Chain A
Amino acid sequence: GQNIDQPTEMTATEGAIVQINCTYQTSGFNGLFWYQQHAGEAPTFLSYNVLDGLEEKGRFSSFLSRSKGYSYLLLKELQMKDSASYLCAVRSGGYNKLIFGAGTRLAVHP
């Protein structure tokens, strides 16, 4: 089976940096994804890692260690609009079926 764990809730201050961790157990690992979901809206793609290391995209970076089954999403220069749920998802197998974690609700306060 597959298991994805991430913290339920986090809080952070505007302008700060926050790291959201995700651990996973899966067979046939074929990529790890982070999605952002604002309340009442559709999830939107943030990042994708298939090889070990750090992928940077503007204020957001994502890291993957396949040997440890571990990823994190790093958000810099936090803004109020970053308050949302952040979903870690794993792809296994040969197509784009993603298995999602429960999500981490991030609250950014002034």
Chain B
Amino acid sequence: GAGVSQTPSNKVTEKGKYVELRCDPISGHTALYWYRQSLGQGPEFLIYFQGTGAADDSGLPNDRFFAVRPEGSVSTLKIQRTERGDSAVYLCASSRDRGTGELFFGEGSRLTVL
């Protein structure tokens, strides 16, 4: 596609529920990143994929968070047993392998946990 696509754009769920957020990166971008952004803060790194493998998952806050990218394109961020503190905008970005380091961000998925 022309840009990074994320679905859903908005998700409201109840505490304790399971949530999946999807990211479709720019065609041909091998690197994919998930970030989380809370109100008034900058994006916080969660996980980085190079191809199908998670090359760096050091930003995942705990084992309730998991992400996959089985075919090296679309990625899914999975959150189990959601908590109110998980409420944030989850941003996905993709980039070429190297270059200037320009990350192309999607519009984000706004997650609200009640």
Please give the distance in Å from A104's CB to the nearest CB on chain B: 10
Q: Cβ of A33 and Cβ of B101 under 8 Å apart?
A: yes
Collect the chain B residues with CB atoms within 8 Å of residue A42's CB: 4, 91, 105-108
A41-B41 in contact given A91-B101, A96-B95, A97-B56 (Cβ < 8 Å): no
Q: Cβ of A96 and Cβ of B31 under 8 Å apart?
A: yes
The verdict on A3 contacting chain B, using a C-beta distance below 8 Å, is no
Cα–Cα distance between A41 and B89 once the two chains are bound (Å): 10
Report the interface size class on chain A: 20 to 34
Which chain A residue shows the least CB distance to B4? A42
Cα–Cα distance between A101 and B43 once the two chains are bound (Å): 8
Cα–Cα distance between A87 and B8 once the two chains are bound (Å): 25
Q: Sample 18 A-B pairs with CB under 8 A, ordered by A number.
A: A31-B101, A33-B101, A42-B106, A43-B105, A45-B103, A45-B104, A91-B101, A95-B55, A95-B56, A96-B31, A97-B56, A98-B103, A100-B44, A100-B45, A102-B41, A102-B42, A103-B40, A103-B42
